[in-house]
Amino acid sequence: MTAAVEMSGVRKAFRGKEALRGVEWSVPEASVCGLIGANGAGKTTLLRLALGLVRADAGSVVVLGERLGLENASLRERVHYVASDRAMAPGYRVDEWVRYASLAYPRWDTVRAGRLLGALELDLRRGVGELSAGQRTSLQIVVAAASRPDLLLLDEPTNGLDVVVKTQVLQLVIDMAAAEGTTMILASHHIEDVERLADRLAVLYDGHFVLQGDLDAIKARMHRLQVVIPGDWPVELEKDPTVVRVERQGKVAVLTVDGPPEPVAELCRRHGAVLVESIDLDLAEVFRIVLGKEGYSRAQLQWNVE
Amino acid sequence: MPSSSGTSSSRPGSFLAPAARYRELHVNRTVYILGALVLVGPWVAWLMQLQAELHAPAVLLDAMGHGTVHSLLASTLAGFASGSPTFNTFTVLAAAAFGVALFGYDRSAGGLLYTLETPLRRRDVFAAKAIFGGTVVVLAIALGIAGTLVAAALSGNLALTGPILLRGLFAVTGQLSLFATALALGGAVGTVFSGLAIAFWAGLPGLLSGLLTMLFVPVSYAVPTTVGAAVASPAGIASLAQALPNLSPFSPAGIGLWSTADVLALIAWFVAWTAFMLWQGSRWWQLAPFERLGDGVFFPFLWNLYYAYLSLASGLFVTTLVTHGTVRGPEWALIYAAAFVAGWFFWRLAVTRQGRRAAWRHAVSART
C-alpha cells in the first residue's frame, strides 16, 4: 500500500525548543488517520509540515509522492488544511473567498461548492470576519470539499460546531473518504470523533509518536477486566508487565491489560477470583494508558484547597 | 454532475496566477488607492504651479523679472529638469512607504498567512505586489511628466522636452529603486524593521541627527566634518545633516546636481538596483520561515542590522554632543567609531532584555 504521508527522522524546533523530535510516520493512501496527543504535543506542527508550509529542520517528508521543497504550492492543490478556532481571510466576504478558492484550486467543483454553501446555510454576502467560529469552520469544510483534495488535514475540525452541524460535517467527511478515497488526517481532542471516523490511530507525545497503527488492532490489544477477589490481593498482578492499570475498591478491581487478557484472567482465578469478566474499553482510556506509560498525568484538581 | 473550473495558481508557464492577481487587488486595493494619491499629490501640486504660471498676469511677470510666460516657464522647467523641486525626500519616502505598506497591511489585515495555506506560490504573491505597485509608481510619475510636457508645449518651451523626459526617467527609476528596496525588505522582515531600514536608506538618521543636534548644540558652532568618503564643508549644522545621506550611495537625498552623463549612469544604476532588489526580495520572501512570518525579523541574524542601524544614528548624535564641533577628520571618525561600537552593544543588550521580558510575560500569561 502506498503512503500518502511518509515522514522519517523529522525534527523541528521553534526558537530553540524542539516541537518534533525524530518523527517516523506513515499514513497509507485512502485511510483516515486519527492523530491524538496531549496539548502542545506537536499535532499542528505535524499537519503544517505535511502541508508544506513549515520546513523540517532535519529528516525527510514525502507527501503524495512529492518530497517537500521550498514552495510546495503544486502539492497544496491536492492537500487541504482545515483548522477551527482561528481568524481566517479577513477582508473577504464569503462569496469572495469562494471566488478566490475557485481560482486557486485547479480541481474546483463549482456545483459542489454551491450545494454545500446552501446546505450549511452560509450567507454569501457576509464578511468572513463576521462569521461565528463554527460558520468559519463550515466555510473551510465547503472549500475543502469543493477543491477535491487527495489529502485532507483536519485540525480540530469540530470545535465550535453545534451538534447538528457537527453531524453534517462529519458525515460529509465520511462520504468524501468513502466516495473519493480521500486520505484524511484528523487531529482532535474529541476522541469520540476519532473513534467514529478513523481506521488508523497515531498518538503523539512530546514531539514523537508513542503509538501508531490500525485502530482496531490497537483496541484489540488492550483489554479491561473486572475481577472480584475475596481473599488477599495477589502481588503478582502488580508485577505483571501487561497489567498497566489497577483500580481497586475493596474486593472489586478493574484491571487494564496491554496484551492478551487470558493469562491475567487465569492468574486471578488461581487467586480465588469469584468473578472475572471482560468490560468495554474506549479509545479515551487507551489514550490515557498510552500517555500514562510515557509519564503524562495530571494530579486531580482539588476545589477550595488552601 | 460536478463541473470543474478555475485555474491552477502554480500552473507552469503562467507568470502571475489568476488567484494571486485576484487576491492582491482585493486585499490591498486600499493601499494601492492611498499610495497612488500620495504619489500623485506632489505632481498635482507641481502641475498646479505650472498652470498658475501659464496664466500669470503681466504685472506679476514683470515683478518676477520675466517678460513673458515663455521666459517664466523656461526658468521653472529648467529648474525642474535639473532636479531640484519634485524629486524630494517626501516623494522618495512615499514610494518607500508604499512598498513597505504592501506587505505590512497584508500581514496585519489581509490574512496573508492564511492564504499561504492555499496553493499560492510565494513568488506570485511578491510578483503581484511588484507589478501592481510598480505600475502605480510609474503611472503617478508619467502623469506628472505628461502634464509638465504639456505646459512646456503650451509655453513654447519644446526645447526642454529632452531634459524633462530625462528628469522623468530619473524620477521613475529612482522611485522604483526605492519601491523595490522597500518591497524586498517588507517581504523579508517585519513592517517596523523594514520601515526603519528604508528610512535609513533615504538618509533619515542623518537628517534626524542633524535636527537633534540643532536642538542640543549651540548653532554658533561650525561643524567641520569628514565622514567616510563625503567631505562636508565647514558650513554648520546643515552639513552634518547631509553627512550620513552622502554615505549612502543609493540615497537620492545625498545627491547633488549632475551632468547628463551622470544622470544616465544613475538611471542605469537604479534600473540594475531595482532588478536586483526584486529578484533578491522574491528570494528572501520565499526563504522566510513560515513560523516567523508574524515576527519583526524573520531571519535572526537581521537583528544585527537593527542594532547597527540604531548605533549609526545614536553614534552620530553622541559624537556631535561629545565633540561640540571642535574635532575634525580622522579623530572625529575614531570617536564616531567608538560611539558606534558602544551603541551596538547597548542596543543589543536593550533589545535582548526587552525580548526576554516579553518572553517571560508571555510565559506567565500562558501559565495563568
Which CATH number covers residue A229?
Answer: 3.30.70
Give the end of a domain, one of B267, B292, B317: B292
Range in A11-15, A219-223, B92-96 the model is least confident about: B92-96
| Domain interval for residue A255 | 221-293
Question: Quick one: A81 and A177 in the same domain?
Answer: yes
Instruction: Provide residues of A within 8 Å CB-CB of chain B.
Output: 14, 48, 51, 53-55, 70-71, 73-77, 81, 86-92, 96, 99-112
Which residues in A lie closer than 8 A to residue B117 (C-beta atoms)? 51, 53, 76, 81
Q: How many domains does chain A have?
A: 2
- CB atoms B117 and A76 under 8 Å: yes
Does the residue B4 lie in any domain? no
- CB atoms B118 and A101 under 8 Å: yes
Q: Give the residue with greater pLDDT, B362 vs A295.
A: A295
pLDDT band at B368 (very low <50, low <70, confident <90, very high): very low
Which residues in B lie closer than 8 A to residue A90 (C-beta atoms)? 109-111
Does the residue B7 lie in any domain? no
Does the residue A196 lie in any domain? yes
Does the residue B300 lie in any domain? yes
pLDDT of residue A205: 86
- CB atoms A73 and B9 under 8 Å: yes
Q: How many domains does chain B have?
A: 2
| A16-26 residue pLDDT tens | 788 899 899 99
- CB atoms A104 and B111 under 8 Å: no
Q: CB A73: neighbour CB atoms within 10 A?
A: 22
Does the residue B150 lie in any domain? yes
Question: Quick one: B109 and B167 in the same domain?
Answer: yes
- CB atoms B119 and A81 under 8 Å: no
* Option in A53, A99, A106 nearest B7 (CB): A106
pLDDT of residue B208: 56
Name the 3-class secondary structure at B267. Answer: helix
Which residues in B lie closer than 8 A to residue A70 (C-beta atoms)? 286-287
Q: CB A303: neighbour CB atoms within 10 A?
A: 4
DSSP string of B38-49, one letter each residue? HHHHHHHHHHHH
* Option in B17, B27, B117 nearest A81 (CB): B117
DSSP string of chain A, one letter each residue? --EEEEEEEEEEEETTEEEEEEEEEEEETT-EEEEEESTTSSHHHHHHHHTTSSPPSEEEEEETTEEP-S--HHHHTTEEEEE-SS---TT-BHHHHHHHHHHH-TTEEHHHHHHHHHHTT--TTSBGGGS-HHHHHHHHHHHHHHT--SEEEEESTTTT--HHHHHHHHHHHHHHHHHH--EEEEE-S-HHHHHHH-SEEEEEETTEEEEEEEHHHHHHHEEEEEEE--SPPPHHHHH-TTEEEEEEETTEEEEEEES-SHHHHHHHHHTT-SEEEEE---HHHHHHHHHHHTT---PPP-TT--
Mean pLDDT, residues B168-187: 86
pLDDT band at B253 (very low <50, low <70, confident <90, very high): very low
- CB atoms B117 and A51 under 8 Å: yes
pLDDT of residue B236: 35
Q: Give the residue with greater pLDDT, B229 vs A88.
A: A88
Question: Quick one: B277 and B303 in the same domain?
Answer: no
DSSP string of B175-190, one letter each residue? HHHHHHHHHHHHHHB-
Helix B204-216 and helix B237-247, axial crossing angle in degrees, nearest 10: 160
Does the residue A299 lie in any domain? no
Question: Quick one: A235 and A175 in the same domain?
Answer: no
Query: Which residues sit opposite A10 in a β-bridge?
Result: A23
Question: Quick one: A107 and A178 in the same domain?
Answer: yes
- The nearest CA of chain A is from the CA of B3 a distance in Å of 5
Question: Quick one: B43 and B99 in the same domain?
Answer: yes
- The nearest CA of chain A is from the CA of B74 a distance in Å of 49
The structure's pTM equals 0.77
Mean pLDDT, residues A131-138: 87
Question: Quick one: A58 and A117 in the same domain?
Answer: yes
Name residue, grid cell 452560509.
A122
Quick check: A96 and A115 in contact, CB under 8 A?
Answer: no
Does the residue A298 lie in any domain? no
Does the residue A143 lie in any domain? yes
| B107-117 residue pLDDT tens | 877 678 888 89
pLDDT of residue B206: 54
| pLDDT of B158 strictly over 80 | yes
pLDDT of residue B193: 67
Work out the percent of chain B whose per-residue pLDDT is above 90. 21
Give the end of a domain, one of A206, A240, A257: A206
Question: Quick one: B275 and B358 in the same domain?
Answer: no
| Domain interval for residue B239 | 204-247+296-368
| B128-142 residue pLDDT tens | 999 999 999 999 999
Does the residue A45 lie in any domain? yes
| pLDDT of A90 strictly over 60 | yes
Does the residue A78 lie in any domain? yes
Quick check: A33 and A202 in contact, CB under 8 A?
Answer: yes
Does the residue B148 lie in any domain? yes
Question: Quick one: B214 and B175 in the same domain?
Answer: no
Question: Quick one: A277 and A136 in the same domain?
Answer: no
ipTM score for this prediction: 0.82
pLDDT band at B366 (very low <50, low <70, confident <90, very high): very low
Work out the percent of chain A whose per-residue pLDDT is above 90. 39
- CB atoms B22 and A108 under 8 Å: no
pLDDT of residue A82: 92
Over chain A, what is the mean pLDDT?
A: 87
Mean pLDDT, residues A201-218: 87
- The nearest CA of chain B is from the CA of A82 a distance in Å of 9
Cell representation of residue B133: 505597485
pLDDT of residue B188: 78
Closest alpha carbon within chain A to B291: A54
* Option in B2, B109, B118 nearest A104 (CB): B118
- CB atoms A104 and B121 under 8 Å: no
| B327, amino acid identity | V
Question: Quick one: A236 and A192 in the same domain?
Answer: no
- CB atoms B290 and A110 under 8 Å: no
Question: Quick one: A260 and A113 in the same domain?
Answer: no
Does the residue B254 lie in any domain? no
Q: How many CB pairs under 8 A join A and B?
A: 106
CA distance B72 to B136: 31
- The nearest CA of chain B is from the CA of A90 a distance in Å of 6
Question: Quick one: A180 and A243 in the same domain?
Answer: no
Mean pLDDT, residues A120-144: 89
Candidates B229, B221, B196, B210; CA nearest to B308 is B196
Does the residue B6 lie in any domain? no
Question: Quick one: A56 and A101 in the same domain?
Answer: yes
CA distance A258 to A36: 19
CA distance A107 to A78: 9
Cell representation of residue A194: 476519532
Does the residue A212 lie in any domain? no
Give the end of a domain, one of A206, A230, A256: A206
Mean pLDDT, residues B184-211: 65
Q: Give the residue with greater pLDDT, A256 vs B200.
A: A256
Give the end of a domain, one of A177, A206, A235: A206
pLDDT band at B264 (very low <50, low <70, confident <90, very high): confident
Q: Is the dihedral of CA B271, B272, B274, B279 positive or negative?
A: positive
Closest alpha carbon within chain A to B18: A103
Question: Quick one: A236 and A125 in the same domain?
Answer: no
Question: Quick one: B107 and B208 in the same domain?
Answer: no
| A168-208 residue pLDDT tens | 888 888 888 888 889 999 998 888 888 888 999 998 888 88
| pLDDT of B249 strictly over 50 | no
pLDDT of residue B259: 65
pLDDT of residue B76: 81
| A149-175 residue pLDDT tens | 999 999 988 887 888 888 888 888 888
Does the residue A300 lie in any domain? no
Does the residue B170 lie in any domain? yes
Which helix (H) or strand (E) element contains residue B252?
A: none
pLDDT band at B304 (very low <50, low <70, confident <90, very high): confident
Q: Give the residue with greater pLDDT, B359 vs B193.
A: B193
